[in-house]
Amino acid sequence: MRIEDRVAAHVAQVPPSGIRKFFDIVSEMKDAISLSVGEPDFVTPWNIRENAIYALERGRTHYTSNSGLMELRELICQYYHQRFGVSYQPGQVLVTVGASEAIDLAVRALVEPGDEVLIPAPSYVSYEPTVALAHGVPVPIPTSAADSFKLDPQVVRSLITPKTKAMVLPYPNNPTGAVMGREDLLALARVLEDTDVVVISDEIYAELTYGADHVSIASIPSMFDRTIVINGFSKAFAMTGWRLGYAIAHPALLGAMLKIHQFTMLCANIMSQYAGVEALRHGLDSGFASVDAMRREYDRRRNYIVAGLNRMGLTCFEPRGAFYAFPSIQSTGMKSEEFCEKLLYAKQVAVVPGTAFGSFGEGFVRISYAASLENIKTALGRIEEFIEGR
């Protein structure tokens, strides 16, 4: 017996994460400045951490209901109503171990072997493998810098087949920073209305938009029932390590997701859920002032980094959301991976090759501005030296 052959074929076929190699090199380097981190550089606000400690002190160490604490689900409903104008009942909310689990649940609840799932490209690294692991077929929807990396409804229409079960809608987008505004979503909705495609709307970066507020596709009446909203606490409240997310959906879909969740995960961890309660309660009481302050801070870094990149000839589409710039490196004549590797070795600056987010990311790199302005400044200086010194 070859032990390697015992691994299921569909698992073996999933390629390893494209950023793994980079992680290994960067970890070895002492003085590298990393602009390749996909999480806030803020620590979770103390009131949130303190409430989790308080929960522990009161002995809140047990299972919660499979769906999550009722208090938290009610707050999530209030939150979606107040911030994004979409009204839900607590019975439509499922608290999960990070938004990642919620995405996996949505995909597994929908996809049968051979079903196609549309995924904008480039996009976050997890969608394709998640679909493949569910025996589905990921179908990329190409987007381009010329269209501000938005979805073109006509392209979407052309890719829909009788096998298309769902579509992932990840806006604001990691890695491009693109957002889909109300008009864009209405145009997309007109295409989807005539189909049976379910929308998995990953809104994890919803609080981080610059210029215009986030619009959820669930706020469009014809899309409400067919949209599974995915969100979480990681980006809005700097809570990545807590692994706390949620899905909101029509009871028929949510019930299917709950079934998988209760047998595989049982419930999200209770300390994190109490932390989430404080994050939302404090936010609702204070008009989300600290979230707004964080957004202002990101916005300033964003302006700084976009201006710097464009100045040195790395043409950068203006990102409208998340905390990434996605400049084109075509003027350097290098491939994405080559650029990132050489930059790392020559100047100790780590950025992520666009190809980590699929082949449509070739010619681009992702630069995170979830870093101190000091580091951003130094890194931009080094990138400029790197380009000029070639």
Partner 1 sequence: MESIKKDVMELLKENSRTSAADMAVMLNAEEQAVLEAIRALEDEKLILKYTAILNEEKLADSHAVTALIEVRVSPMREMGFDAIARRIYRFEEVESVFLMSGAYDLMVLIKGDSMRQIAFFVAQKLATIDGVLSTATHFVLKKYKELGVVFETAEEEVRLPVTP
Q: Which is nearer to partner 1, 30 or 62 (CB)?
A: 30
Q: How many CB atoms lie within 10 A of CB 101?
A: 25
357 contacts 123 by C-beta, under 8 angstroms: yes
Burial of 178 (0-12, 13-18, 19+ CB in 10 A): buried
CB of 102 to partner 1, least distance (A): 16
- Look at residue 29 and give its three-state secondary structure: coil
> Based on CB atoms, which residue is closest to partner 1, 26 or 93?
26
The C-alpha angle with vertex 148 and arms to 146 and 152, in degrees rounded to 5, equals 85
**Nearest approach, Cβ of residue 341 and partner 1 (Å):** 13
Closer residue to partner 1 in complex, CB, 37/159: 37
- Kindly tell me which of 37 and 186 has the beta carbon lying closer to partner 1: 37
Q: How far is the CB of 259 from partner 1 (least distance, A)?
A: 28
Q: What does the chain come to in residues? A: 390
Q: Using the minimum distance from each CB to partner 1, give the nearer residue, 17 or 331.
A: 17
Measured distance CA(314)–CA(311) in Å, rounded = 7
Give the C-alpha separation, 222 to 76, whole Å: 22
Footprint of partner 1 (CB under 8 A)? 17, 19, 22-23, 26-27, 32, 34, 36-39, 41, 43, 124-126, 174, 296, 300-301, 303-304, 307-308, 350, 352, 356, 373, 377
Q: How far is the CB of 354 from partner 1 (least distance, A)?
A: 13
Q: How far is the CB of 249 from partner 1 (least distance, A)?
A: 25
Q: How far is CA 330 from the centre of its chain?
A: 26
- What's the closest the beta carbon of residue 359 comes to partner 1, in angstroms? 16
Whichever of 224 and 304 has its CB closer to partner 1, that residue is 304
Token pair 């990329």 in the structure block, residue:
140
* CA 129 centroid distance within chain: 15
